[in-house]
Amino acid sequence: MDKRQSLIWMAVLIVLALLGLLIAGLISEKSAQAPAPVVSSGTPQVGGPFTLTDEKGATVSDADFRGKYMLIYFGFTFCPDVCPTELQVMTGAVDALGADADKVQPLFITVDPARDTADVMATYVPQFSPRLKGLTGSDAQIAAVAKEFHVFYEKAPDDSSSADYSMDHSSIVYLMGPDGKFLTFFPPGTTPDAMAAKIKGFMG
């Protein structure tokens, strides 16, 4: 199995896992109507608090984005194709919201903090949109936020890279509500218009 097939399978597994979380949430929610004791809030446990560094070198946390919807994607700047494609979809979806675009904050969180410093992010993210923020941090900080979002990532040997490695990672766009809670996710292949329509639906 080559690297591209491996990434496709990883993405499929992540999507299935998230679908499982959503289904479990719906089942728990339905069960809450029965007289049996409720042991779950019915909300998929995706996302959580984080503290990272933005492309300007400033420390930011999830709390800084309260009041806005967050579109979050995990990737790395040396990614040759998948990450740029998803970032274009994300920023295209935000632009498609028109007057509601200011209600959404797109975030790009690196899984390769060794190379993706704040300076690198400052050069990279404006290529997609002035709205996009790039977040990096220590290895421990990145590991912690990736765990909160159930994101898979690991180094992979790559002789074509100047650093001799690439990053295998899941490719999912997450939508979080203005309260920081998980709303839904978008798998690879989602179009900007479809993403924008679903976001709009949450806005009411």
The whole-chain average pLDDT of the chain stands at: 85
**pLDDT for residue 38:** 42
What ranges do the domains of the chain cover? 3-32+44-203
**pLDDT for residue 11:** 53
Does the pLDDT of residue 89 top 90, yes or no? Answer: yes
- β-bridge pairing 133-136 and 104-110: parallel
Does the pLDDT of residue 43 top 90, yes or no? Answer: no
**pLDDT for residue 10:** 53
- β-bridge pairing 69-75 and 104-110: parallel
Q: Are the C-beta atoms of 109 and 77 separated by less than 8 Å?
A: no
Does the pLDDT of residue 162 top 90, yes or no? Answer: no
Residues 132-161: tens digit of each pLDDT? 999 999 999 999 999 999 999 999 998 877
Residues 177-202: tens digit of each pLDDT? 999 999 999 999 999 999 999 999 99
* CATH 3.10.20.70, applies to 3-32+44-203: no
